[in-house]
Chain A
Amino acid sequence: MSTANTTNRAYGAITLGTLLPWIIGAIILLVLPILMGSKGQLTIMSQMSIMVVFALAYNMLLGQGGMLSFGHAVYMGMGSFLCLHVMNASYFGSVPLPILPLIGGFFGLGIAMIIGSFSTRSAGTIFAMISLGLGELMAACVLIIVVFFGGEEGISGYRDEGLPFFGLEFISHIEVFYLIAFWLFVSAALMFLFSRTPVGRMANAVRDNPERAQFLGYSARWVRFVSFSASGFFCGIAGGLSAILFEIATESDLNVTASGVILLIVFLGGVGFFWGPIIGAVVFILLQTVLGLQTHLWELYVGVIFVAMVMYFPGGLAGIIMSHAVAMSLGKLGLLVRPYLTCVLPAIIGILGLCGLIEMIFHMREAPTGETEMTLFWTAIDTHHIWAWLVFGVIAAGGILLARQQSSVLKEAWDQANTIDTPAEEPS
């Protein structure tokens, strides 16, 4: 980056470079439903969009504010419940549906301001424990305060009873998707802009070093409180969108499991980058819906991926992608193609072989007696035949051994791709 010319720097100029990701994002949101327009696909994409809003809002705390919350589904869930009450109210006929998420947002903001007023006193373990306790408390309230939460069956409503919005009644899935996509775009843009405001910048400072921030004139607690409230607002918007899409809210929308899922999503995507949670949410929903249809064990695989990410790639998927930035700026990305093919590809094949073995064991244990056929990787397999076990065993062992053998080559190529070539030293 240029540093020499400091006097002529144009501050805050909006360039095509800064707008490009947003333009691409908007085009993707506009075009996707045209390419994949079935009811199921639209529902998955709507679900993804809601999760992206929720994940970005969660990362305002975790990634940008350094606050680990174990009960964040509360703010989304509360927004969801409130919006369903609005949908069931007699005045809903005079409320246009597109502004409903905003109502959820302000409710989330209100709840977050009440809880944040005492929970943001400190970050770290104390904050995490308070959030966990409140998450459990709210989940318990669902079954106790039946008037608001509807007990075990939750609250349901109908989105199409709102005031028609320029003739739209939001009965079809594509209309609902575009409504959600609109709010996704607006929320993501606002959250991005928030991170560029003084208080958003100070949230990073407080995350890095709360004490130093205090000696710059900022109360760490106030900075946390503002971030926390803003996060609650966007969680509430996600809740409102969820109410519109599913037309129901239950205990499972705000319990501690739901809070755990969002933590998993954000970590999977990467907390260090603004767009990390977007990848996390998209990948997780894909795993949940696509992999979930293929195998009963999808949660096992997601769990293993999560543990592996936390252990070996704490930067998440975004971190993996961005770790290639140095090699790319040096123009040496090409060096990595071969080792990836000889090391990472066999590793993936080996792991898939291992998954095959796991699936066969599961099938032998769970299938009704006598049924020995199963479909694995689009092939019919007889689990009571030694050949099936041998083939998958060889694939698993071979792939992993090959990857291990090639790992030194990969490491060497990686180091080489990340070092600046120095021309031969001139004699002085």
Chain B
Amino acid sequence: MTLALELDDLRKSFGSAEIIRGLNLKVEKGERHAIIGPNGAGKSTMFNLITGRFPQTSGHVRLHGTDLTGLQPFQINRLGLSRSFQITNIFPKMTVFENVRCSLLWSMGFKYSFWNMVSRNRALNEGAEEILEQINLTVRRDLPAGVLSYAEQRALEIGITIAGGADVIMLDEPTAGMSNTETDYIVNLIEKVTENKTLIVVEHDMGVVFGLADRISVLVYGEIIATGTPEEVRSDQKVQEAYLGAALEDH
């Protein structure tokens, strides 16, 4: 099996505080990998380091074997990695359709073209319609994205994230702030749209994590204390002590 993503002693300090303290992680192609851990463990920071939002202090991130050190987010995206955000991050003034169509542009090779008309390209528009269909937002097609409900905006963000055809998808707390019904809906959606792709997801809801993930990593104070299948992690003594015991009691 080839590795989709590899972290090699990844470290990040803000001032003198080391937030990420040497992460080593191997995610295989096609795997669904969940990152769990208590608040403030550095899960979002880890995401931001992998996707180039922040530069790392030391260590390496490799995507399909390519070192991402020093690359900008847009360059990393072009290599086939796409992400969503913990706080909904869409284009609020543009229509839902336009949101999705824009996220297809680069992968369909339009680049900075000012000689093509977006409305005249059949493949582009049909691709966007298809994604709308997948995320069940076809009826909201022509509304400004900013007026959608919270769950719909989250679904749209997942649509934007997968639209470019990236094969490594990173979702940061996709079900945060959702009701049970909405959570079930989004989880089904995630399973559907990330088929045959590598998925890395940060999630607090243990029900979601154990249902969705092939493997789980537990991040505590900037370190991965355990990685393994859901059963392995569940029975891990260190995990029980550090985090999961308390979290599991809630469920």
Partner-B contacts on A (CB < 8 A): 1, 3, 6, 9, 11-12, 193-194, 196-202, 204-205, 207-209, 211-220, 222-223, 226, 230
B interface residues, tally (CB under 8 Å):
46
Instruction: Return chain A residues, CB-CB under 8 Å to B102.
Output: 201-202, 204-205, 213, 216
Cα distance A1–B97 in the bound complex, in angstroms: 13
Cα distance A12–B124 in the bound complex, in angstroms: 11
User: In the complex, which residue of chain B has the Cβ closest to the Cβ of A217?
Assistant: B106
Question: Do residues A197 and B98 form an inter-chain contact, with CB atoms below 8 A?
Answer: no
Cα distance A199–B122 in the bound complex, in angstroms: 18
Question: Do residues A193 and B117 form an inter-chain contact, with CB atoms below 8 A?
Answer: yes
Q: Pick from B83, B91, B142: contact of A209, CB below 8 A.
A: B91
User: In the complex, which residue of chain B has the Cβ closest to the Cβ of A212?
Assistant: B89
Instruction: Return chain B residues, CB-CB under 8 Å to A217.
Output: 74, 77-78, 105-107, 164
Question: Do residues A197 and B114 form an inter-chain contact, with CB atoms below 8 A?
Answer: yes
Cα distance A227–B160 in the bound complex, in angstroms: 23
Cα distance A9–B94 in the bound complex, in angstroms: 20
Instruction: Return chain B residues, CB-CB under 8 Å to A198.
Output: 105, 110-114, 116, 118
Instruction: Return chain B residues, CB-CB under 8 Å to A216.
Output: 74, 77, 102-103, 105-106, 160, 164
Question: Do residues A200 and B138 form an inter-chain contact, with CB atoms below 8 A?
Answer: no
Tell me whether B119 is interfacial, beta carbon within 8 Å: yes
Instruction: Return chain A residues, CB-CB under 8 Å to B82.
Output: 215
Cα distance A39–B89 in the bound complex, in angstroms: 55
Cα distance A208–B89 in the bound complex, in angstroms: 10
Question: Do residues B91 and A212 form an inter-chain contact, with CB atoms below 8 A?
Answer: yes
Output the least CB separation between A60 and chain B (Å): 11
Instruction: Return chain B residues, CB-CB under 8 Å to A201.
Output: 98, 101-102, 105, 118
Question: Do residues A196 and B117 form an inter-chain contact, with CB atoms below 8 A?
Answer: yes
Cα distance A218–B103 in the bound complex, in angstroms: 9
Output the least CB separation between A202 and chain B (Å): 6
Instruction: Return chain A residues, CB-CB under 8 Å to B92.
Output: 208-209
Chain B, residues 135-154, CB within 8 Å of chain A (1/0): the string is 00011011000000000000
With contacts A9-B125, A11-B125 known, what are 19 further pairs, Cβ within 8 A? A6-B138, A11-B121, A198-B110, A198-B114, A198-B118, A201-B118, A204-B93, A205-B91, A207-B93, A209-B89, A211-B53, A212-B90, A212-B91, A214-B77, A216-B103, A216-B164, A217-B105, A218-B106, A226-B112
Q: List 22 A-B contacts (CB under 8 A).
A: A3-B139, A3-B141, A6-B133, A196-B118, A197-B115, A198-B113, A199-B112, A201-B98, A201-B105, A202-B112, A205-B94, A209-B89, A212-B85, A212-B89, A212-B91, A214-B73, A215-B82, A216-B106, A217-B74, A218-B112, A219-B74, A226-B114
Cα distance A12–B119 in the bound complex, in angstroms: 5
Tell me whether B13 is interfacial, beta carbon within 8 Å: no
Question: Do residues A208 and B94 form an inter-chain contact, with CB atoms below 8 A?
Answer: yes
Question: Do residues B129 and A6 form an inter-chain contact, with CB atoms below 8 A?
Answer: yes
Question: Do residues B94 and A204 form an inter-chain contact, with CB atoms below 8 A?
Answer: yes
Output the least CB separation between A78 and chain B (Å): 22
Question: Do residues B116 and A214 form an inter-chain contact, with CB atoms below 8 A?
Answer: no
Tell me whether B120 is interfacial, beta carbon within 8 Å: yes
Output the least CB separation between B98 and chain A (Å): 7
User: In the complex, which residue of chain B has the Cβ closest to the Cβ of A3?
Assistant: B141
Instruction: Return chain A residues, CB-CB under 8 Å to B160.
Output: 212, 216
Asked, given contacts A6-B138, A209-B89, A214-B72, whether A199 binds B113 with beta carbons under 8 Å apart, the answer is yes
Question: Do residues A208 and B93 form an inter-chain contact, with CB atoms below 8 A?
Answer: yes
Question: Do residues A3 and B106 form an inter-chain contact, with CB atoms below 8 A?
Answer: no
Cα distance A197–B141 in the bound complex, in angstroms: 19
Cα distance A200–B105 in the bound complex, in angstroms: 11
Most buried by B among A1, A205, A216: A216
Most buried by B among A3, A200, A208, A215: A215
Instruction: Return chain A residues, CB-CB under 8 Å to B119.
Output: 11-12, 196
Cα distance A198–B120 in the bound complex, in angstroms: 11
Instruction: Return chain A residues, CB-CB under 8 Å to B56.
Output: none
Cα distance A158–B138 in the bound complex, in angstroms: 59
Cα distance A213–B106 in the bound complex, in angstroms: 10
